[in-house]
Amino acid sequence: MISRVYFEDFLSFEKVELEFEKGLIVFTGPSGAGKSILMDSFLSLFAYKEARANIGEIIIENSPVENEAFMIAKGDDVVIKATKKDKVRYFLNNQMVSKKNLSDFSQTIVKFLHLKDTSDFESARLIEFLDKFLQCNDAAYNQLKTSFENSYLEYKQVQERLEKIKADEKKIEDLKEFTQFEIEKIASIDPKVDEYEELNAIKRNLSKKDKIQDAINAASGVFAFNTSVSNALDLLEVDSGFFDEAINELNNQFEKFNDSLSELEELDIEYVLDRIEKLSSLQKKFGSIQEALNYKKQKEDELEGYENISFEKSILEKNEKELNKEVKELALEISAKRVESSKHLENKINHYLKHLYLSNAKIHLIEKSVDITGIDRVEFELNGVSLETISSGEFNRLRLALLTSISEFEIVSNGILFLDEIDANLSGKESKAIATVLATLAKSYQIFAISHQPQLTATADQHFFVDKIAGKSTVRKLNKEQRIDEIARMISGENISSDAKQFASNLLSE
């Protein structure tokens, strides 16, 4: 619940600091005092409205949600702040947050009801309500729904694979021809890993063969001094082993080159250069010879797959048929349970509608194409007509009955509810009915509302009065005597009569 709110410098308000309790919280006051401005400022901290205050802060005590991104656990206190200078900045538990992310978070904890919001009657939302009701009251339903979802996902995977195969089948010959061409391009070269480097080494040796030969010939004269060097070392009484080893190694290297020279002379230089060019083209295209070989293997596997496509298609068609049957059977079983739960919800809604001087709400489950939610589409009607044709007052009362029913079934998390003009333009009888239902809903929600009628105002757990004097707006919490005076003003106007005060006192007592 919201435990505290603080604002500075917004329109006609200089400063607002209020503390709240659970239940129904009502704001009243003369027209133009700033009630809507104040409510919009509350909503701006949840990103429902544009921020107007230079500084705003709201504290949510014992939050019913958890959010890993902002390290919020269930039961934690949450602080939302907004500052407005050159631009608006939002903070969630002292961590800067975008308006979009704040809005996403807010919708898990705060609900703002206004006439343009029909989301509670969307089929997907109502299906979610029915499923939560069943999960709370039918131990086997959760397993049934999980089985359906798993089967449906498997069915879609098989269906997608089958559709791809059928699409491939139409162009299979072109695909086979292209794949075979790609394989043969690499196979015709038949590259080996490290071959490119080896051939380039040979090319380098060939290019400097004559220079190496001349250098070896010029250096070979050193061998004529072997005996002289050995004798000199003996006279110096130095072991000549190191010299002998060096001369032998030098001789081996020269002989090794001479042997390779004869091999190089036998090579077809045109073949080597052509081979290097082909391997180079593969390297440029694939990055390396190994990658070219990997690509060739991939294409060989694809070609094998194309050859086996008819067999795989027949297997998939069989699986698709079996899964389709299984999905439909599970969906029908789920639908039957939803129809049963919808009757419970429908009865509860009509129970509250009776208090709201409406009746005959109907919930219809219409069969649709199967998807991850099943085969049900939910439609609402009131007195035999669709919701698009009912009045705004009827819509407000129907939605109120729906929310109260859902909260009584405990299939939604308790949260915070802001109501927009909930009792505007209603008769006293209708306003009293709404007040009675809101009192029930306030057991599950902390509700904030602007009231225009004494009946709803008298039902409030907390009553705040908004006033404007000399262009400056203020808001304060009223005690019992002050509430009687304010409700009497709402009844009789600025000139409060004794009858109005007595009526107001009686309303509060009720």
Mean pLDDT calculated for residue range 59-80: 87
Q: Which helix (H) or strand (E) holds 86?
A: none
pTM of the model: 0.65
Per-domain residue ranges of the chain: 1-109+415-425+442-478, 172-309
CB of 487 within 8 A of CB of 457? yes
CB of 475 within 8 A of CB of 38? yes
Give the C-alpha separation, 485 to 476, whole Å: 14
Give pLDDT tens digits for 402-419: 988 888 776 555 689 998
Give the C-alpha separation, 44 to 68, whole Å: 23
Helices (H), 267-380: 269-286, 289-307, 309-355
- What integer best gives the mean pLDDT of the chain? 88
CB of 4 within 8 A of CB of 19? yes
Place domain 1-109+415-425+442-478 in its CATH homologous superfamily: P-loop containing nucleotide triphosphate hydrolases (3.40.50.300)
- 82's CB contacts (< 8 A; 6+ apart) are 44, 45, 51, 53, 55, 56, 57, 88, 89, 90, 91
Mean pLDDT calculated for residue range 259-269: 67
Q: What pLDDT is stored for residue 410 in this prediction?
A: 60
Give pLDDT tens digits for 275-286: 888 888 888 888
Give the C-alpha separation, 169 to 388, whole Å: 48
Q: What pLDDT is stored for residue 370 in this prediction?
A: 94
Mean pLDDT calculated for residue range 374-396: 89
Q: How long a stretch of residues is the chain?
A: 510
Give the C-alpha separation, 26 to 451, whole Å: 6
Indicate the pLDDT class of residue 430, thresholds 50, 70 and 90: confident
CB of 4 within 8 A of CB of 59? yes
The residue with tokens 């389709």 is 324
Give pLDDT tens digits for 90-110: 999 989 999 999 999 998 889
Indicate the pLDDT class of residue 381, thresholds 50, 70 and 90: very high
Give the C-alpha separation, 11 to 179, whole Å: 71
Q: What pLDDT is stored for residue 448 in this prediction?
A: 95
